[in-house]
Amino acid sequence: MELRHVRYLLAVAEHGNFTRAAEDLHVSQPTLSQQIKQLERTMRVQLLDRTGRTVRLTDAGEAYVHYARRALQDLAAAERAVLDVQDLTRGGLRLAMTPTFTAYLIGPLVARFHTHHPAIVLDVREMTQDRIEAELLAGDLDLGIAFSGPHLPGIGATSLFAEDLSLVVSTGHPLADRAQSLPVSDLAECPLALLRGDFATRGHIDTYLTEHAVRPLISVEANSITALTEIVERTFLATVLPAAVTVDHRDLQVIHLDPPLPSRTVTLLRRESAYQSAAACAFTDLAHHWADANPTPENLAGEGAPQFDHRTDVDSVLPHPLRYPLGCACR
């Protein structure tokens, strides 16, 4: 048995079809079929049920694939470990986060990380929280930034900071000059532009509105924070976003709601018991030190707040020397 046999079986199990699996693997269908039969002869058991319209795993195949996937994940981690070095002079980090963090958090964190470790190649992705957790479990991501539980079994989470959501409007909006907080009941008459329903932030907002018996007037739904801020800046629509998003937008203004939306705990996610590369450990420590220096993300540009921007001496806030042995334990 060779590794390609295992990869071939997993491809057929995923696609439920030899033709599509062969196309995905860039091999001919007869070759794929022959290799699977060879694996079955080696295992002395039938792994695939080929009698239906789609190819399915047998009970033995299900049992085998469960461990085969884990084995391939561990082998991929082993390959990354070989390429990883103690002083972080090469390597990569696969990082994902939910959309709100791309608007105010990823820039500062990546800037600091790249300043300290310019040789590490960062693969940064934006996706929903359920997909982040699924890809962490599949071994396709190293770290994720999302919100506190409940999480899928096998996902480990450490807290970073509390995030607050507020009403956000343009400076030309009729509500912009409001000196006091806005009663949540008034949102029933305030046209909104919100994230789509498959995002965690939207679910948090919907729960809040339902608890206060508010039926919102939703005029726009988007899957991008950038789209929402652009729309709100140019219309009389309001949105609900973290106040930190407005730091770099002079044409946006925060209006606090009464009662306020419950705070959410921002967490750093990883797969439990998985190999943590030196790059992942370095980013984990950096994220925690950033959160300690900025207990509320609005402080990023606030006067008198702990400043930690690209001009800051990174060595003054990060552990030194910043070296991590292979397989190091993260904070």
- β-strand partners of 137: none
Question: Looking at residue 296, what is its pLDDT?
Answer: 61
Question: How confident is the model at residue 84, as a pLDDT?
Answer: 65
pLDDT of res. 113: 94
Dist CA 243 CA 147 (whole Å): 17
Cis peptide before 321 (omega within 30 of 0): yes
pLDDT interval class at 241 (50, 70, 90) = very high
Q: What is the per-residue pLDDT across 257-274, written as a single tens digit (0 to 9) for each?
A: 999 999 999 999 999 988
Query: Span 165-262: which CATH code?
Result: 3.40.190.290
- b (16+ CB within 10 A) / e for 130-145: ebbbebbbebebbbbb
**Is residue 323 over pLDDT 90?**
no
The CATH number of 3-78 is 1.10.10.10
Compute the average pLDDT of residues 105-111: 91
Return the CATH class of domain 84-161+265-316.
alpha beta
**Average pLDDT for 177-197:** 89
**Residue 202: Cβ within 10 Å count:** 18
Residues 285-322: pLDDT tens digits? 999 998 888 766 554 443 333 333 433 333 444 443 34
Among the residue ranges 2-6, 58-62, 204-208, the one predicted with the least confidence is 2-6
165-262 matches 3-78 in CATH topology: no
Let me know: does 244 contact 60? Beta carbons within 8 Å.
Answer: no
Q: Where are the domains of the chain?
A: 3-78, 84-161+265-316, 165-262
Q: Give me the pLDDT at residue 52, please.
A: 81
Average pLDDT for 8-14: 91
Instruction: Tell me what pLDDT residue 301 has.
Output: 40
pLDDT for the residue 104: 87
Query: 135 pLDDT band (50/70/90 cuts)?
Result: very high
* pLDDT score recorded for residue 329: 45
Query: Is the predicted pLDDT of residue 234 greater than 90, yes or no?
Result: yes
Q: CA 12, CA 33: separation in Å to the nearest integer?
A: 10
> pTM of the predicted model, to two decimals?
0.66
Cα-to-chain-centroid distance, residue 220: 24
Q: What is the mean pLDDT of residues 33-53?
A: 90
Q: What is the pLDDT of residue 325?
A: 42
As a whole number, mean pLDDT of residues 139-165 equals 92
The tens digit of pLDDT for each residue in 151-161 reads 999 999 999 99
Percent of the chain with pLDDT over 90: 55
Helical H segments across the chain, by residue range: 3-15, 18-25, 29-43, 59-83, 99-104, 106-116, 129-137, 200-211, 225-234, 278-293
Share of the chain above pLDDT 70, in %: 87
